[in-house]
Amino acid sequence: MQAHRQLHLAVVTAGGNLRLADVFEPLWDETERVIYHTGLMSSRAADLRHDHAALIAALAMGHGDAAASAAGDEIEQLHHVIVDMALKTASMLAPAPQPAGSPASNAVDTVPKRRTARRGGRAIEQ
């Protein structure tokens, strides 16, 4: 996962778009948080793996459009896997609305507390 992150960070940084580079790491942190929270690393690790041969070949040959297409394909694949699993993970779904005045709607401690894990020197909320 760390190598995957570093590859994509290198691609983003090499592109010279500083705004994209600035938002990349927090976005990646959130994606990683969802992957770990939904159990994807243990239950569907194979679905998260994809080779970067098309992306790397396109970059090496200087074919920006092909590289963008390969990166887009990777993102779309990851998106489908994450959304599919998130929809099957109860803690990722919003709770059902409670009628006004019901005990649950008045409770302060109904939202679970977040905990923070450290991965690769970064704090990631779970």
Q: What is the pLDDT of residue 23?
A: 92
Structural domain count, the chain? 1
pLDDT of residue 63: 94
pLDDT of residue 2: 82
Question: Is 77 part of a structural domain of the chain?
Answer: yes
Average pLDDT, the chain: 76
What three-state secondary structure class fits 22?
helix
Query: Is residue 124 included in any domain, yes or no?
Result: no
| H-assigned helices in 50-121 | 53-60, 64-86, 103-106
122 domain-assigned: no
DSSP state of 108: S
3-class secondary structure, 14 = helix
In a domain, 25, yes or no: yes
- pLDDT value for 61: 95
**Below-50 pLDDT ranges, the chain:** 105, 107-109, 111, 113, 126
Q: Residue 62 belongs to what domain range?
A: 2-94
- 115 is a domain residue: no
Which pLDDT score, from 0 to 100, does residue 78 have?
A: 82
Q: What phi and psi values does residue 119 have, to the nearest 5 degrees?
A: -135, 120
Residue 42 lies in a domain: yes
Is the residue at 51 inside a domain? yes
pLDDT of amino acid 126: 47
Q: What confidence score (pLDDT) does residue 108 get?
A: 47
**Residue 102, domain member (yes or no):** no
pLDDT digits (tens, 9 = 90+) for 40-59: 777 666 666 667 888 889 99
